Amino acid sequence: MQSLTPQRLIELRLAANDVRQGIIRSLVAAGSGHSAGSLDMADVFTALYFHILRHDPQRPDWAKRDRLLLSCGHIAPVRYSAMAYAGYFPVDELLTLRRLGTRLQGHPERMRLPAVETTSGPLGEGLAQGVGMALGGKLDREDWRVYVVTSDAEHQCGLHWEAMMTAGKFKLDNLISFIDRNFIQIDGSTEEIMPLEPLADKYRSFNWEVFECDGNDMAAIIATVERAQTVKGKPSVIIANTVPGKGVSYMEGDYTWHGKPPNKEQAALALAQLQADREQIGAVHV
């Protein structure tokens, strides 16, 4: 990973702003889709695609690439936007989100879009798939890593806990999992619907190394991943504390934006806010 200079940090924050704008544009064009989680994971996905992953957009099937699995497939717009800005496909293609025949299905489809490692949407499956890949990597003595992005509410699925157990047993230190800890799901607060806390202790008891960070702070995300990459003999989980809808004031913290897109007026307001943020990023650091 290259070092995080102040200039590099500005570039990454600007890239995250691009990714957020891409999310809004694709959602309003589609007229359906998931806003809150997509926006709140924009910093993590930007960090991954622009700084952390060993990958090559020109060679999406490069055997030595790190694998990135999006378990909570409904936040596909953030993955698509980050991939487009990272050079996997033209940014304009984001406007085809959810159209009939598009490569950008509402939930990611592996056979349609290169470098999408798994088809996802049914919650709770991605960690198990990542564990299988990480085991395969170990058996083949490969040095690529597996990164999995999960949501907090998908911890309500039993398979996820089986995967946690398996990763601990096989000491998969080539596996780093993120949790989008935004405390929301479709119907409200995760802690009211099915409490998860103490989440960090639960992972520790399954023999995972646990990290927590502000999932909307680019420098913190990257520093935390660097620490996770040094862990030996255990898988790592990064509890990324995020603000649902991050970057768009009227969405922030409001679970009702879990599964709906902005309309045209709301999208225009969101883009204006993001544009103002963008100028701020530049102004603060010049």
H or E segment to which residue 252 belongs:
none
Question: Could you say which residues in the range 129-148 bind ligand TPP, by CB under 6 A?
Answer: none
Which listed range, 68-76, 169-177, 200-208, 226-234, lies at the site for ligand TPP (CB under 6 A)? 68-76
Residue nearer to ligand TPP on the CB measure, 174 or 177 = 177
Provide the minimum distance between the beta carbon of 253 and ligand TPP in the complex, in angstroms, as a whole number. 12
The whole-angstrom separation of Cα 20 and Cα 52 is 19
What separation in angstroms does the CA of 149 have from each of 37, 71, 172, 265?
Answer: 12, 6, 16, 31
Residue nearer to ligand TPP on the CB measure, 25 or 74 = 74
- Is there binding between residue 124 and ligand TPP (CB under 6 A)? yes
Considering only 57, 121, 132, 253, the residue that binds ligand TPP (CB under 6 A) is 121
- Is there binding between residue 253 and ligand TPP (CB under 6 A)? no
The whole-angstrom separation of Cα 50 and Cα 70 is 16
Considering only 43, 66, 117, 152, the residue that binds ligand TPP (CB under 6 A) is 152
Residue 3, Cα to own-chain centre: how many angstroms? 22
| Residue 36 phi, psi (nearest 5) | -60, -50
- Is there binding between residue 182 and ligand TPP (CB under 6 A)? yes
Question: For residue 171, is it left (φ>0), alpha (ψ between -120 and 50) or beta?
Answer: left
- Which of 149, 123, 144, 124 minimizes the C-alpha distance to 134? 144
Binding mask 22-41 for ligand TPP (x = CB under 6 A): ------------x-xx----
Question: Could you say which residues in the range 214-243 bind ligand TPP, by CB under 6 A?
Answer: none
The whole-angstrom separation of Cα 281 and Cα 286 is 9
Cβ-closest residue to ligand TPP? 37
Provide the minimum distance between the beta carbon of 203 and ligand TPP in the complex, in angstroms, as a whole number. 17
Structure tokens at 276: 């103002």
Considering only 15, 19, 30, 72, the residue that binds ligand TPP (CB under 6 A) is 72
